[in-house]
Amino acid sequence: MSLRHILTVFFKQGKDIMRNRTILIQFVLFPVLAAIMEYSVKPEELPEHFFIYMFAAMYFVMAPLTGMSAVIAEEKEKNTLRVLLMADVTPAEYLAGTGGCIFLAGMAGSCMFAVCGGFSGGKLAWFLLMMAAGTAVSLVAGAAIGVWSRNQTSAASLSVPVMMVFSFLPMLSMFNEAVGRAAKYAYSQQIYRLMAEGSSAAKGETGIVLAGNFLAVFLIFRYVCGRQQRGSKKSANR
């Protein structure tokens, strides 16, 4: 592992994302929507910061997942990844640099949510911690999709259904009990609850669900990487 390689990839991705509107908008749109709703709609019967938490949950699922998968898939499609790997950047260095950059972008957006909510002190730390945990799971899922896909189209068709399910679960589970029972096994639902209700909402199952979700996406990611490596040895992929 070369730190120079990781940092080079990190800064390259940062610069590239700043110029890539389709990805950039994901990181800006949700915090802006949350701000608008938080300040303009103040329904009496909804809990405090309802829109912040709602959009934050969608955000930590969607932005890192689409960001990561789109960046990797684009580099595969345009053959730039091939050139990087030829220049002795290892796949691990590439993923570390890219993942680090998307993670940081994700946390920058999280800070915007925190500002909208006027969080401070322990509440702020807790909120950011939860966002970091959610972002990490989505990031690995996005990496798996990106590595799996040959091009941006196939990455999008894979990531859209996945993020729909996870990002809408928290909202849907409020309206439907059956959905709620299934949703509690999803990391997005657990983190949403922890965010909205605070650390006291943590139950025994919470940790298990979170660890289980992370392990699951990580294993999928490992499997996809292994398949990719075997594939390039055997030939098939271009």
d(CA 224, CA 3): 25
Tokens of 87: 């220049």
The label of the residue with tokens 């930590």 reads 60
Nearer to other proteins by Cβ, of 87 and 178: the residue is 87
Shortest distance (Å) from residue 1 CB to other proteins: 13
Nearer to other proteins by Cβ, of 2 and 176: the residue is 2
d(CA 212, CA 134): 13
Nearer to other proteins by Cβ, of 16 and 218: the residue is 16
Contact 57, 134 (CB under 8 A): yes
The label of the residue with tokens 């590239």 reads 16
Shortest distance (Å) from residue 157 CB to other proteins: 22
Nearer to other proteins by Cβ, of 20 and 206: the residue is 20
Shortest distance (Å) from residue 101 CB to other proteins: 14
Positions touching other proteins (CB under 8 A) are 4-5, 8, 12, 15-16, 19-20, 78-80, 82-89, 232-236
d(CA 148, CA 224): 6
d(CA 191, CA 127): 10
Residue 68 makes CB contacts below 8 A (sequence gap 6+) with: 98, 99, 102, 138, 139, 142, 143, 145, 146
Shortest distance (Å) from residue 223 CB to other proteins: 21
Shortest distance (Å) from residue 184 CB to other proteins: 42
Nearer to other proteins by Cβ, of 178 and 236: the residue is 236
Amino acid at 146: G
Nearer to other proteins by Cβ, of 3 and 41: the residue is 3
Shortest distance (Å) from residue 109 CB to other proteins: 21
d(CA 190, CA 13): 30
Q: How many CB atoms lie within 10 A of CB 132?
A: 15
